[in-house]
Structure 1
């Protein structure tokens, strides 16, 4: 039976209500402060591509509580003016995106299976150089939204990476390792040679010592075996 305090309210019931209130406040704070939805254009948010080529402009989304009617869009920042490229929505985690592509040289290549909302830009020109903005909004998180930017750099030809320093470093490291191995081999041969000579000396010493002992022993034995001369 639950006990009662002076106010007549059940103590167990009051504590339970307090715990529920505390849990509700914590949940509300988490949902209100933590930004669960996130979109990303990868660890390297830019690409350098040749004029006339086709490039992948990546973007993925993530949510700690799942998605519901997720809205996403792609825009190009044309000197401060946002030009819409594509937009779409995803009902839930098991439904593929429904997409509307506006730009004639853009294809949507994303899929819900990998939380991917990337696009392809065909036959790029120098006019396509700049920032591409990936935006997403998740109504399940009270309309939380997030933005990621990917930068496209268009060039006439790709720059050759100077590998001179890398080659020098690799050569130096390889030379040092080779020298260490050579020194170890020479050391092992010298030690083996010295040990061999020591073993030969020890054998010679043992043989000579054995010969001396044998000669001394035989002469002593002969001397001991001689009988006492008769008177």
Structure 2
């Protein structure tokens, strides 16, 4: 019996261990699904910019990680016909610690902050030679050196084209005209109704006064007739 109890206890212990293992795997899978994105960098919803020659532009980039960062390495490069030219790079030790940025371009300024997961840069006094693709790259050792990059395209022009608002002006003018016409119609209708009501009131007054006069005349003639037919005492 002791051996049976021992065997049963051993089997029960194994079952519990198996349940714990399955539960652990399930939690791991759930965490894996939740963190499936891992490290990501983004240059925003619009990944290009059209700017005037001689202006200063912001090249935006932010990073995110579901498990946090440690010694996050980031870099900005300019794609010069297939040759990647480094503009700046740095390492962020942990979240909230500002990095010491190594800038390798005279017109580049780092304006990001680790407190906002921001690694954006400014490019001063752009020229037509600055047109092209800018690559924001990051690598997170905390995620087994997982890395990610995003491309931001800069288009340099002589002058920015003014938006053609002709269609908008036409639509607004038509709507304004229609609204004005409706208001005029409503005003005319209100005036017509007002004058018609006044005419009705005058007609009613005329009918009442005419009816009163008729009754008065009929009463007087009746009285005269009665006086004539009354016999003398």
TM-score by length of 1: 0.78
Cα drift, residue 108 of structure 1: 0.5
Cα drift, residue 111 of structure 1: 1.5
Q: What is the alpha-carbon root mean square deviation over aligned residues?
A: 3.5
Q: Which residue of 2 aligns with 1:9?
A: 12
Structure number with greater Rg is 2
Change (3 A) 1:59 1:25: closer
Matched, 1:93 2:90: no
Write the distance in 2 (CA, Å) between the matches of 1:139 and 1:203.
Answer: 99
Matched, 1:40 2:42: yes
Give structure 1 stretches of 5+ with no counterpart. none
Change (3 A) 1:25 1:165: closer
Write the distance in 2 (CA, Å) between the matches of 1:225 and 1:139.
Answer: 130
Any idea what the Cα deviations from partners look like across 1:35-61, whole Å, max 9, x if unmatched?
A: 143322223222222222222111222
Say whether the 8 Å CA contact 1:108–1:117 is kept in structure 2: yes
Matched, 1:52 2:54: yes
Any idea what the Cα deviations from partners look like across 1:21-41, whole Å, max 9, x if unmatched?
A: 32223323444xx21433222
Say whether the 8 Å CA contact 1:37–1:64 is kept in structure 2: yes
Secondary structure, counterpart of 1:48 in structure 2: strand
Cα drift, residue 85 of structure 1: 0.5
Write the distance in 1 (CA, Å) between the matches of 2:102 and 2:76.
Answer: 10
Task: Map 1:59-208; keep pairs closer than 5 Å.
Answer: 59-208=61-210
Which structure is higher in helix share?
Answer: 2
TM-score by length of 2: 0.77
Cα drift, residue 218 of structure 1: 7.9
Paired residues in the alignment total 225
Say whether the 8 Å CA contact 1:35–1:144 is kept in structure 2: no
Cα drift, residue 219 of structure 1: 7.5
Change (3 A) 1:90 1:14: same
Q: 2:27 aligns with which of 23, 27, 42?
A: 23
